[in-house]
Protein backbone atom coordinates (compact mmCIF):
# COMPACT_ATOMS: atom_id res chain seq x y z
CA UNK A 1 0.00 0.00 0.00
CA UNK A 2 1.30 3.43 -0.96
CA UNK A 3 1.57 6.49 1.28
CA UNK A 4 -1.38 8.64 0.07
CA UNK A 5 -0.22 12.18 -0.62
CA UNK A 6 -1.85 15.36 -1.94
CA UNK A 7 -0.07 18.43 -3.30
CA UNK A 8 -1.86 21.67 -4.23
CA UNK A 9 -0.97 25.08 -5.59
CA UNK A 10 -2.69 28.46 -5.79
CA UNK A 11 -0.45 29.94 -8.46
CA UNK A 12 2.92 31.51 -9.09
CA UNK A 13 3.45 34.90 -7.47
CA UNK A 14 5.19 37.63 -9.43
CA UNK A 15 4.92 40.59 -7.03
CA UNK A 16 3.57 41.33 -3.53
CA UNK A 17 0.90 43.47 -5.19
CA UNK A 18 -0.59 40.35 -6.80
CA UNK A 19 -2.31 39.58 -3.50
CA UNK A 20 -4.01 41.55 -0.74
CA UNK A 21 -1.98 41.37 2.45
CA UNK A 22 -5.10 42.08 4.51
CA UNK A 23 -6.60 38.79 3.27
CA UNK A 24 -3.55 36.68 4.03
CA UNK A 25 -5.44 34.52 6.51
CA UNK A 26 -8.16 33.85 3.92
CA UNK A 27 -5.65 32.64 1.33
CA UNK A 28 -4.17 30.28 3.87
CA UNK A 29 -7.53 29.03 5.14
CA UNK A 30 -8.76 28.06 1.68
CA UNK A 31 -5.51 26.37 0.75
CA UNK A 32 -5.69 24.45 4.03
CA UNK A 33 -9.32 23.52 3.42
CA UNK A 34 -8.48 22.23 -0.08
CA UNK A 35 -5.56 20.25 1.29
CA UNK A 36 -7.56 18.75 4.16
CA UNK A 37 -10.55 17.89 1.95
CA UNK A 38 -8.51 16.13 -0.70
CA UNK A 39 -6.30 14.32 1.78
CA UNK A 40 -9.31 13.04 3.76
CA UNK A 41 -10.49 11.29 0.58
CA UNK A 42 -7.09 9.68 0.10
CA UNK A 43 -6.77 8.72 3.76
CA UNK A 44 -10.09 6.86 3.55
CA UNK A 45 -8.84 4.86 0.58
CA UNK A 46 -10.47 7.03 -2.09
CA UNK A 47 -9.04 7.51 -5.59
CA UNK A 48 -6.52 10.16 -6.54
CA UNK A 49 -8.94 11.57 -9.14
CA UNK A 50 -11.56 12.34 -6.48
CA UNK A 51 -9.00 14.03 -4.24
CA UNK A 52 -7.72 16.20 -7.08
CA UNK A 53 -11.20 17.17 -8.26
CA UNK A 54 -12.54 18.07 -4.82
CA UNK A 55 -9.43 20.02 -3.79
CA UNK A 56 -9.72 22.08 -6.97
CA UNK A 57 -13.48 22.55 -6.42
CA UNK A 58 -12.69 24.46 -3.24
CA UNK A 59 -10.10 26.67 -4.92
CA UNK A 60 -12.43 27.40 -7.86
CA UNK A 61 -15.30 28.32 -5.56
CA UNK A 62 -13.49 30.45 -2.96
CA UNK A 63 -12.87 33.46 -5.22
CA UNK A 64 -9.35 34.01 -3.92
CA UNK A 65 -7.39 32.65 -6.87
CA UNK A 66 -7.48 33.01 -10.65
CA UNK A 67 -9.93 30.15 -11.21
CA UNK A 68 -13.69 29.86 -11.02
CA UNK A 69 -15.15 32.74 -8.99
CA UNK A 70 -11.76 34.44 -8.73
CA UNK A 71 -11.10 34.48 -12.48
CA UNK A 72 -9.52 37.53 -14.07
CA UNK A 73 -11.10 39.36 -16.99
CA UNK A 74 -10.27 39.20 -20.68
CA UNK A 75 -9.46 42.29 -22.74
CA UNK A 76 -13.15 42.71 -23.57
CA UNK A 77 -14.31 42.30 -19.97
CA UNK A 78 -15.36 38.65 -19.87
CA UNK A 79 -14.31 35.70 -17.74
CA UNK A 80 -13.28 32.60 -19.70
CA UNK A 81 -12.37 29.49 -17.72
CA UNK A 82 -10.10 26.56 -18.57
CA UNK A 83 -9.49 23.27 -16.74
CA UNK A 84 -8.03 19.81 -17.26
CA UNK A 85 -7.61 16.53 -15.41
CA UNK A 86 -5.62 13.34 -16.10
CA UNK A 87 -5.64 9.80 -14.74
CA UNK A 88 -2.13 8.39 -14.41
CA UNK A 89 -3.34 4.78 -14.30
CA UNK A 90 -4.57 4.73 -17.91
CA UNK A 91 -3.42 8.07 -19.41
CA UNK A 92 -7.01 9.17 -19.97
CA UNK A 93 -7.54 12.93 -19.83
CA UNK A 94 -10.23 15.56 -20.24
CA UNK A 95 -10.31 19.33 -20.53
CA UNK A 96 -12.52 22.34 -21.23
CA UNK A 97 -11.47 25.76 -22.48
CA UNK A 98 -13.08 29.18 -22.75
CA UNK A 99 -16.21 28.29 -20.78
CA UNK A 100 -18.34 30.94 -19.07
CA UNK A 101 -21.34 29.14 -17.55
CA UNK A 102 -20.03 25.90 -16.02
CA UNK A 103 -19.96 26.29 -12.23
CA UNK A 104 -17.18 23.75 -11.72
CA UNK A 105 -14.85 23.63 -14.74
CA UNK A 106 -12.71 20.87 -13.22
CA UNK A 107 -15.78 18.61 -13.03
CA UNK A 108 -16.58 19.34 -16.66
CA UNK A 109 -13.05 18.33 -17.58
CA UNK A 110 -13.51 15.05 -15.73
CA UNK A 111 -16.81 14.43 -17.53
CA UNK A 112 -15.08 14.93 -20.88
CA UNK A 113 -12.52 12.32 -19.82
CA UNK A 114 -15.04 9.80 -18.53
CA UNK A 115 -18.00 10.24 -20.90
CA UNK A 116 -16.47 11.01 -24.30
CA UNK A 117 -13.55 9.71 -26.34
CA UNK A 118 -12.35 13.30 -26.80
CA UNK A 119 -9.82 15.15 -24.66
CA UNK A 120 -10.65 18.85 -25.07
CA UNK A 121 -13.98 20.62 -25.61
CA UNK A 122 -14.22 24.38 -25.85
CA UNK A 123 -16.64 27.27 -25.51
CA UNK A 124 -20.32 26.76 -26.22
CA UNK A 125 -19.77 23.12 -27.19
CA UNK A 126 -18.23 22.37 -23.81
CA UNK A 127 -21.10 24.17 -22.10
CA UNK A 128 -23.72 22.22 -24.05
CA UNK A 129 -21.97 18.97 -23.14
CA UNK A 130 -21.81 19.95 -19.45
CA UNK A 131 -25.54 20.66 -19.49
CA UNK A 132 -26.21 17.24 -21.05
CA UNK A 133 -24.15 15.70 -18.23
CA UNK A 134 -26.37 17.46 -15.65
CA UNK A 135 -23.47 19.53 -14.36
CA UNK A 136 -24.48 22.77 -12.72
CA UNK A 137 -24.84 25.64 -15.19
CA UNK A 138 -24.85 29.26 -13.99
CA UNK A 139 -25.21 32.70 -15.48
CA UNK A 140 -21.80 34.27 -16.26
CA UNK A 141 -22.55 36.87 -13.57
CA UNK A 142 -22.05 34.11 -10.98
CA UNK A 143 -18.31 34.43 -11.50
CA UNK A 144 -18.22 38.25 -11.20
CA UNK A 145 -15.55 39.31 -8.74
CA UNK A 146 -15.52 42.96 -7.70
CA UNK A 147 -11.83 42.84 -6.76
CA UNK A 148 -10.80 41.50 -10.15
CA UNK A 149 -13.23 43.81 -11.96
CA UNK A 150 -11.59 46.82 -10.30
CA UNK A 151 -8.22 45.49 -11.38
CA UNK A 152 -9.51 44.98 -14.92
CA UNK A 153 -10.85 48.54 -15.21
CA UNK A 154 -7.48 49.96 -14.13
CA UNK A 155 -5.42 47.72 -16.41
CA UNK A 156 -7.73 48.25 -19.39
CA UNK A 157 -7.50 52.03 -19.01
CA UNK A 158 -3.71 51.82 -18.90
CA UNK A 159 -3.62 49.56 -21.97
CA UNK A 160 -5.98 51.83 -23.91
CA UNK A 161 -3.89 54.86 -23.03
CA UNK A 162 -0.78 53.12 -24.35
CA UNK A 163 -2.76 51.85 -27.36
CA UNK A 164 -1.51 48.34 -26.91
CA UNK A 165 -3.16 45.07 -25.98
CA UNK A 166 -0.80 43.42 -23.56
CA UNK A 167 -1.56 41.01 -20.75
CA UNK A 168 -0.26 41.66 -17.27
CA UNK A 169 1.26 38.92 -15.16
CA UNK A 170 -1.43 37.47 -12.97
CA UNK A 171 -0.95 33.73 -12.70
CA UNK A 172 -2.78 32.43 -9.63
CA UNK A 173 -3.92 29.33 -11.49
CA UNK A 174 -4.86 26.49 -9.14
CA UNK A 175 -3.95 22.82 -9.33
CA UNK A 176 -3.60 19.55 -7.47
CA UNK A 177 -1.74 16.26 -7.85
CA UNK A 178 -2.30 13.13 -5.81
CA UNK A 179 -1.06 9.62 -5.09
CA UNK A 180 -3.63 7.23 -3.63
CA UNK A 181 -3.01 4.09 -1.59
CA UNK A 182 -3.49 1.93 -4.68
CA UNK A 183 -0.46 3.58 -6.27
CA UNK A 184 -2.44 5.61 -8.81
CA UNK A 185 -1.55 9.19 -9.71
CA UNK A 186 -3.81 12.01 -10.90
CA UNK A 187 -3.36 15.67 -11.79
CA UNK A 188 -5.67 18.62 -12.41
CA UNK A 189 -5.40 22.33 -13.19
CA UNK A 190 -7.98 25.14 -13.37
CA UNK A 191 -7.61 28.80 -14.32
CA UNK A 192 -9.13 32.03 -15.57
CA UNK A 193 -5.98 32.74 -17.58
CA UNK A 194 -4.22 36.07 -17.88
CA UNK A 195 -5.41 39.59 -17.13
CA UNK A 196 -6.50 41.24 -20.40
CA UNK A 197 -5.95 38.06 -22.40
CA UNK A 198 -6.95 38.48 -26.02
CA UNK A 199 -10.17 37.14 -27.48
CA UNK A 200 -10.31 33.36 -27.26
CA UNK A 201 -6.81 32.95 -25.84
CA UNK A 202 -6.16 29.52 -24.33
CA UNK A 203 -3.16 28.92 -22.11
CA UNK A 204 -1.43 25.79 -20.89
CA UNK A 205 -3.89 24.78 -18.14
CA UNK A 206 -6.26 22.77 -20.40
CA UNK A 207 -3.47 21.43 -22.61
CA UNK A 208 -2.47 17.89 -21.62
CA UNK A 209 1.32 17.64 -21.61
CA UNK A 210 1.75 21.39 -21.16
CA UNK A 211 -0.08 22.41 -17.97
CA UNK A 212 -1.19 19.00 -16.71
CA UNK A 213 0.17 15.47 -16.93
CA UNK A 214 -0.05 12.21 -14.97
CA UNK A 215 1.54 8.82 -15.57
CA UNK A 216 1.83 6.10 -12.95
CA UNK A 217 5.25 5.19 -14.34
CA UNK A 218 6.75 8.54 -13.31
CA UNK A 219 4.80 11.44 -11.87
CA UNK A 220 1.78 13.75 -11.81
CA UNK A 221 2.20 17.48 -12.48
CA UNK A 222 0.27 20.76 -12.49
CA UNK A 223 1.81 23.97 -13.82
CA UNK A 224 1.35 27.69 -13.17
CA UNK A 225 2.91 30.71 -14.83
CA UNK A 226 3.24 32.18 -18.31
CA UNK A 227 1.34 29.51 -20.17
CA UNK A 228 2.61 30.24 -23.66
CA UNK A 229 6.08 29.09 -22.62
CA UNK A 230 4.72 25.94 -20.99
CA UNK A 231 2.89 25.10 -24.20
CA UNK A 232 5.92 25.77 -26.39
CA UNK A 233 8.09 23.44 -24.31
CA UNK A 234 5.45 20.75 -23.59
CA UNK A 235 6.57 21.41 -20.05
CA UNK A 236 4.60 18.81 -18.10
CA UNK A 237 5.33 15.99 -20.54
CA UNK A 238 8.96 17.06 -20.71
CA UNK A 239 9.35 16.43 -16.97
CA UNK A 240 8.00 12.91 -17.49
CA UNK A 241 10.30 12.41 -20.50
CA UNK A 242 13.38 13.56 -18.60
CA UNK A 243 12.58 11.10 -15.82
CA UNK A 244 11.89 8.29 -18.29
CA UNK A 245 14.67 8.72 -20.83
CA UNK A 246 17.36 10.66 -18.96
CA UNK A 247 16.94 9.02 -15.56
CA UNK A 248 16.47 12.35 -13.81
CA UNK A 249 14.71 12.66 -10.47
CA UNK A 250 11.49 14.66 -10.21
CA UNK A 251 13.39 17.49 -8.54
CA UNK A 252 16.03 17.59 -11.28
CA UNK A 253 13.60 17.27 -14.17
CA UNK A 254 11.14 19.87 -12.91
CA UNK A 255 13.83 22.42 -12.10
CA UNK A 256 15.55 21.87 -15.45
CA UNK A 257 12.30 22.48 -17.31
CA UNK A 258 11.63 25.68 -15.36
CA UNK A 259 15.20 26.84 -15.99
CA UNK A 260 14.76 26.23 -19.72
CA UNK A 261 11.54 28.26 -19.69
CA UNK A 262 13.25 31.05 -17.77
CA UNK A 263 16.02 31.20 -20.39
CA UNK A 264 13.28 31.70 -22.99
CA UNK A 265 11.88 34.61 -20.96
CA UNK A 266 9.08 32.86 -19.09
CA UNK A 267 8.48 32.48 -15.36
CA UNK A 268 6.34 30.13 -13.30
CA UNK A 269 6.25 27.06 -11.12
CA UNK A 270 4.85 23.57 -10.78
CA UNK A 271 3.87 20.92 -8.29
CA UNK A 272 4.67 17.26 -8.79
CA UNK A 273 4.53 13.89 -7.09
CA UNK A 274 6.12 10.59 -8.07
CA UNK A 275 4.72 7.10 -7.89
CA UNK A 276 6.69 6.56 -4.66
CA UNK A 277 5.33 9.72 -3.01
CA UNK A 278 8.27 12.09 -3.57
CA UNK A 279 7.04 15.70 -3.75
CA UNK A 280 8.47 18.68 -5.65
CA UNK A 281 7.22 22.29 -5.61
CA UNK A 282 9.81 24.35 -7.58
CA UNK A 283 9.24 27.84 -8.97
CA UNK A 284 11.14 30.64 -10.70
CA UNK A 285 8.68 33.39 -9.72
CA UNK A 286 9.32 35.16 -6.41
CA UNK A 287 7.13 32.60 -4.68
CA UNK A 288 4.19 30.22 -5.15
CA UNK A 289 1.16 29.41 -3.04
CA UNK A 290 1.42 25.66 -2.48
CA UNK A 291 1.30 22.86 0.05
CA UNK A 292 1.29 19.11 0.53
CA UNK A 293 0.05 16.57 3.03
CA UNK A 294 0.70 12.91 3.73
CA UNK A 295 0.58 10.71 6.80
CA UNK A 296 4.01 11.86 7.97
CA UNK A 297 4.09 15.58 7.30
CA UNK A 298 2.25 18.64 6.10
CA UNK A 299 3.20 22.06 4.72
CA UNK A 300 1.21 25.04 3.48
CA UNK A 301 3.53 27.62 1.99
CA UNK A 302 2.29 31.16 1.48
CA UNK A 303 3.91 34.25 0.11
CA UNK A 304 5.27 36.11 3.17
CA UNK A 305 3.33 39.03 4.55
CA UNK A 306 4.84 42.41 3.60
CA UNK A 307 6.05 42.82 7.18
CA UNK A 308 7.94 39.53 6.82
CA UNK A 309 9.48 40.22 3.41
CA UNK A 310 12.82 41.36 4.79
CA UNK A 311 13.20 38.32 7.03
Phi, psi of 194 (to 5 degrees): -100, 150
Q: Is the dihedral of CA 3, 114, 214, 49 positive or negative?
A: negative
Q: Residue 268: beta bridge partners?
A: 225
Query: What count of other Cβ atoms lies within 10 Å of the Cβ of residue 124?
Result: 12
Catalytic residue among 173, 191, 218, 233: 173
212 as an active site residue: the answer is: no
178 touches 52 (CB < 8 A) = yes
- Note whether 291 and 298 are within 8 A (CB): yes
Handedness of CA 214, 135, 11, 304 (dihedral sign): negative
Half-sphere exposure of 218 (CA within 13 A, CB side): 25
* Residues catalogued as catalytic: 173
Amino acid sequence: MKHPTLVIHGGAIFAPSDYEASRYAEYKSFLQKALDTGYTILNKGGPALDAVEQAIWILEECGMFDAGRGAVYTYDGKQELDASIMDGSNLKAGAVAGVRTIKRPISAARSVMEHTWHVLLMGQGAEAFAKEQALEIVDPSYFHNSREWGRYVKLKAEADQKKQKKESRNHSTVGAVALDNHGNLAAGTSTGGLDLKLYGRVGDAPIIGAGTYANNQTCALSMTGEGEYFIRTSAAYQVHARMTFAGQSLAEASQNVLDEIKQMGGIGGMIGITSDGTVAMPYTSIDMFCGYKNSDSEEVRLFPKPSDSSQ
